[in-house]
Chain A
Amino acid sequence: EVVLTQSPGTLSLTPGARATLSCRASQSIAGRYLAWYQQKPGQAPRLLIYASSTRATGIPDRFSGSGSGTDFTLSISGLEPEDFAVYYCQQFSNSPVIFGGGTKVELK
């Protein structure tokens, strides 16, 4: 079973700053099987990035994904007030589908 480790657990930043979130897999996975989600309090998760680097419909271009093998990154350039949330990575290369533990991006 693949384990996804997200770091840091919490990222304290100011609006306008750049956020860099890491998702490390315990074994190599193909990039097409890696996605990122945003979740705000009291809301369902929202798909941001799929296939490790493709933005989902309606996602602003300040969100970008990169990486391959075991190391994947979600970057947010120029944090907007609505970007403070929890972010999860997900792998679905095989069963079981796994989510990382999440990174909380909070207002500094």
Chain B
Amino acid sequence: QVQLVQSGPEVKKPGSSVKLSCKTSGGTFRSYAIGWVRQAPGQGLEWVGGVLPIFRSTDYAQRLQGRLTITADEATSTAYMELTSLKPDDTAIYYCGRGLEADHLYTSFDPWGQGTLVTVSS
């Protein structure tokens, strides 16, 4: 059974950076995309980006281009999401999800991590 466990909550100042982790267990890490989705307080789901380790493919939401880097460490079956130049409207719960279909960067997600709350405030 595949499980995703995310790192703990973060409180950051505007202009700083945050790096979140998503450790997977069970299943094959490299063949399945890890996607990141965020949810601002009281709002809907917003795709942030994703990585497909086997092809070293990444894609990012256009509005976050230049500030976002998503990586995958096959040795530890862990994906990372780093967001720089943080703004207050980056405050959200950030979820990771495992791709349902092997070898596809764009896919539905199942299962999901428990989420990480990132708060950006001065």
Contacts and interface: CB of A to CB of B under 8 A. Distances in A.
A45 B95 contact: yes
A96 B110 contact: no
Given A93-B106, A95-B106, A97-B35, A45 B44 contact: no
A57 B62 CA distance: 32
A43 to B, nearest CB: 8
A93 B108 CA distance: 10
Contacts of B50: 97
Interface in A1-52: 33, 35, 37, 39, 44-47, 50
Interface residues of B, number: 23
> From DSSP, what is the main secondary structure of chain A's interface residues?
loop
Interface stretch (B9-17, B68-76, B80-88, B111-119): B111-119
A5 B62 CA distance: 20
What is the interface residue range for chain A against chain B? 20 to 34
B47 interface: yes
B7 interface: no
Given A44-B114, A46-B112, A96-B62, A102 B106 contact: no
